[in-house]
Structure 1
């Protein structure tokens, strides 16, 4: 993979020897609903976790940025941040609560720029740029627009009403330019967080044998994934950000997007 090669060239030999580079580490930006029917303050959970297997949760440093975009206007969610303890099936970890003021009909793109997290087992830092989506009134507005992050996945399908059994297509960008051959891990939110108790519910399925689900981007940065079941799905393009080191260690800057799929009735 080209991104893995770049990190190796930066001197991160330990990454080259680890086939599961930052495997299944996913910055979750979670709201109980993706489509809301009336204005109000919507709670958001920011959790750094392994949700497919309801696995280990990592202590999340205070995010560098948390904001929403609505009709092109940026809404700073930093003042709403409060530290919380997330209780997963395996352990407890530092996480964060936030809320987004939903007032105007349309899309709300929720963005978290996480602070670099040191993964001791791989001797590298991980920084994820994560997006998820809310909509009020079923009026689309901002969902297809790039945010302008150092690296991001831009959806080509409306990300909050994907039909289960259909496909999702995204485009991986780094500094606004398409990334060729990006390695993109696919995650399923098998254990749903309860934002009142800030704990994980029981897992509804298990990861498939063979390790992480992975797709790659084409020569124009596009990838397509067949979404097999309803629920919340995540995609993380690994090592696609421009920075390669942090505090003398290798750094993987990852683009993360969360989508919602529905069964057709």
Structure 2
């Protein structure tokens, strides 16, 4: 009996470890309009397709980049909340003028014992305000980031999403990019565990392409290993962007 329990626990741990981790910023809209002038958003850390959450400590940084130029610190606006039963953060923001708004959080590294490493996903989402969001394919200057080649807002389900993975400001060739759907209403199911997380490899210029078949939010995580370990362990450095398909 004891052997069976241990075997079951081992299988459960292996299955849990197989799911991809994602930093998440999920706003209630990707476009601010005259009818909706504010955006509410939630920051969390999870396995989004399986709807299994992890604790997200208060980030080291949370800010918005306006028109790829001005940075506004928003860390003090965060309010504690729960997502998937775990610690998360919420806030609301009202753009003061038309333009492009890129929201970014840089988390405290997450200790993942199942993989014997730490995980730091620098996560962003881009909002268009009043139809004036231009130059959306411009880097915002993060340690690692995905620069979209497909407009990151105002998309139809079934559209291709394409981006470039940057690491220290340069294209990161042959980066593995994990893709997951935010299965918020649990209406989707995967035929096999291998289909929970999709994977693509960027080309020699750091460019990747993926077709998003369903409406809703899709997360893309370009994964590399940081040059320096963190607290004696390898540090997974993720460039994450979230895009809504309508």
Bin the TM-score by the shorter chain: 0.7 to 0.9
Give distance in 1, aligned partners of 2:178 and 2:16: 10
- 1:152 equivalent among 121, 139, 145: 145
Residue 239 of structure 1 aligns to a residue whose secondary structure is strand
What does 1:105-120 correspond to in 2, within 5 Å? 105-120=98-113
Give distance in 1, aligned partners of 2:164 and 2:18: 21
Find the counterpart in structure 2 of residue 220 from structure 1: 205
Give distance in 2, aligned partners of 1:34 and 1:178: 26
Residue 173 of structure 1 aligns to a residue whose secondary structure is strand
**Given the two structures, how large is their TM-score scaled by the length of structure 2?**
0.86
Q: 2:160, 2:210 within 8 Å by CA — same for their partners in 1? A: yes
Find the counterpart in structure 2 of residue 65 from structure 1: 61
Find the counterpart in structure 1 of residue 5 from structure 2: none
- 1:100 equivalent among 93, 108, 120: 93
Find the counterpart in structure 1 of residue 9 from structure 2: none
- 1:162 equivalent among 150, 155, 160: 155
Give distance in 1, aligned partners of 2:53 and 2:149: 30
Find the counterpart in structure 2 of residue 48 from structure 1: 45
The Cα shift of 1:244 comes to: 4.0
Query: Is 2:213 aligned against 1:259?
Result: no
Give distance in 1, aligned partners of 2:142 and 2:18: 20
RMSD: 2.0
Q: 1:77, 1:99 within 8 Å by CA — same for their partners in 2? A: no
**Given the two structures, how large is their TM-score scaled by the length of structure 1?**
0.81
Q: 2:33, 2:130 within 8 Å by CA — same for their partners in 1? A: yes
Give distance in 1, aligned partners of 2:74 and 2:114: 32
Find the counterpart in structure 2 of residue 3 from structure 1: none
Evaluate the alpha carbon distance shift between residue 255 and residue 184 of structure 1 in structure 2; reply closer, same or farther with a 3 A threshold.
same
Residue 148 of structure 1 aligns to a residue whose secondary structure is coil
Provide, for residues 222-256 of structure 1, a one-character-per-residue CA deviation record: whole Å limited to 9, x for no partner: 0111121221111001125x444101111101110
Give distance in 2, aligned partners of 1:117 and 1:206: 27
Give distance in 2, aligned partners of 1:121 and 1:49: 15
Number of corresponding residues: 229
Query: Is 2:164 aligned against 1:171?
Result: yes
Give distance in 2, aligned partners of 1:214 and 1:51: 15
Find the counterpart in structure 1 of residue 74 from structure 2: 77
Task: After the TM superposition, list the runs of 4 or more consecutive aligned residues in structure 1 that deviate by more than 6 angstroms.
Answer: 18-22
The Cα shift of 1:23 comes to: 3.9
Q: 1:65, 1:112 within 8 Å by CA — same for their partners in 2? A: yes
> Structure 1 stretches of 5 or more lacking a match?
1-17, 192-201
- 1:247 equivalent among 208, 231, 242: 231
Q: 1:109, 1:142 within 8 Å by CA — same for their partners in 2? A: no
Give distance in 1, aligned partners of 2:38 and 2:130: 15
Bigger drift between 244-253 and 36-45 goes to 36-45
Q: Which has the higher contact order (CA 8 A, sep 6+)?
A: 1
Evaluate the alpha carbon distance shift between residue 225 and residue 40 of structure 1 in structure 2; reply closer, same or farther with a 3 A threshold.
same
